[in-house]
Amino acid sequence: MTLILLAYLGGVLTIVSPCILPVLPFVFARGGRPFLTGTLPLLAGMVVMFAAVASLAAVGGGWAVSANQYGRIAAMVLLTLFAVTLLSRTLADILTRPLVALGNRLSGEAGAGSGIGASFLLGIATGLLWAPCAGPILGLVLTGAAISGASVQTTLLLLAYAAGAATSLALALLAGGRLFAAMKQSLGAGEWVRRALGVLVLAGVAAIAFGLDTGFLTRVSLASTSRFEQGLLDKFLPAKPVKTVAVAGSDLPVEGVIPELTGATGWLNTRPLTRDELAGKVVVVDFWTYSCINCLRALPYIRAWAAKYKDHGLVVLGVHAPEFAFEKDPANVRKAVADLGVTYPVALDSKLAIWQAFNNQYWPAHYFIDAMGRIRAHHFGEGEYDKSERIIQT
């Protein structure tokens, strides 16, 4: 029960995270509808679909990845149709009659009776495209799901997280709906507001389709909830303290030894590496995934360390540990690695085998390993890059 409550609180906090921005146009486009027939069904569809997709990802397998990919494409097509009907009735008429009818139902023009179903359908599409930032709470839920597989408990936790996000979005929608209503009434700009929402929905779909949302969000700084979430976890679900051994003449204790790197489902920029091959080298292990905004913000520093200290014996090893099903597709990861300019070795940890070997729980997470294969320090999340570099130099 405690974990379900924490998952709900983690979801509530997503309203201040940057990862909510790409789906806001889809949600606010229904902001002018009555709460019970417009907002509530939309948020319910979003909650149900997010939990279903995340639970499906826990099952694993290529079919789950493919199903998620096709579902995202269908969602983008659906939301594009919705945007077209908001932009122009004339433009909508150019489409074939079945598509126009579907678009009109989505925009609620076919009568009040279709409003609930249309809103729920749009919520399902939004849930397919929503990829929230994985803070400590969601990270704990997702990794637990991936490791233990789909279960009733996993689904309940994901539903609780999505319900928390829906709660904060509902409050924002209530305020936004009143604002839109005031604009329409005072300015007589109802049609222009409608078109502006259509533009925003199209922009959101395009950004997600071409991967522009992650690039934009890495430059957006909203309030970070990671420390608050971690504080909640430490209070209600305290982790076992890491056993360390002091080293004479050094401020850095020994936290353990680097585990075997077996279990990777593939490797990029290198042949498969082993623990023995890394002996005698200083190693930085970076757990990341290509759609994680926090990971992408840390990536320039990781790349800089790899280039700066390569000739001094440093090996940077990226471990790509997916949060969501679409991140398990090797082709997607390969493209992201090339686009992001990652040239150091990357292990594809789609089954989270290396993740479990390190007993990791965070995105991003950095482990600093000395030439004797001993883990001397770690850092979870963004920030403290100067401190991390000093550890490398030690």
Strand partners, 254: 245
Q: What is the pLDDT of residue 215?
A: 59
Q: Kindly list the strands in the beta sheet with 266-268, ordered across the sheet, starting from the edge strand earlier in the chain.
A: 256-257, 374-380, 365-369, 282-288, 314-320, 346-348, 266-268
Q: Which CATH architecture has domain 256-393?
A: 3-Layer(aba) Sandwich (3.40)
Q: Per residue of the chain (394 residues), what is the pLDDT tens digit?
A: 777 888 888 888 877 776 777 777 777 776 667 778 778 888 898 888 888 877 776 555 555 566 666 777 777 777 777 777 667 666 555 544 554 455 555 555 444 445 677 788 888 888 877 777 666 677 777 777 666 666 777 788 888 888 988 888 888 777 766 665 565 555 555 566 667 777 777 777 777 777 665 655 555 555 566 667 767 777 766 656 656 666 656 778 888 999 999 889 999 999 999 999 999 999 999 999 998 888 998 999 999 999 999 988 899 999 999 987 788 889 999 999 999 999 999 999 998 999 999 988 888 999 999 999 999 999 988 888 999 999 998 8
The C-alpha atoms of residue 337 and residue 295 are separated, in whole angstroms, by: 13
Q: What is the pLDDT of residue 10?
A: 83
The C-alpha atoms of residue 68 and residue 29 are separated, in whole angstroms, by: 24
Q: What is the pLDDT of residue 88?
A: 66
Q: How many CA atoms lie within 13 A of 90 on its CB side?
A: 1
Where along the chain do its domains lie?
Answer: 2-231, 256-393
49, 128 in Cβ contact below 8 A? yes
Q: What is the pLDDT of residue 241?
A: 61
Identify residue 353 by its one-letter amino acid code.
Answer: A
- What is the H or E stretch that residue 380 is in? strand 374-380
275, 260 in Cβ contact below 8 A? yes
Tokens (6 digits) for 67: 């199903």
Identify residue 29 by its one-letter amino acid code.
Answer: A
The C-alpha atoms of residue 119 and residue 141 are separated, in whole angstroms, by: 28
Q: What is the pLDDT of residue 288?
A: 95
**Is the pTM above the cut of 0.85?**
no
Q: What is the pLDDT of residue 185?
A: 56
Helix (H, G, I), strand (E, B) or coil at 331: helix
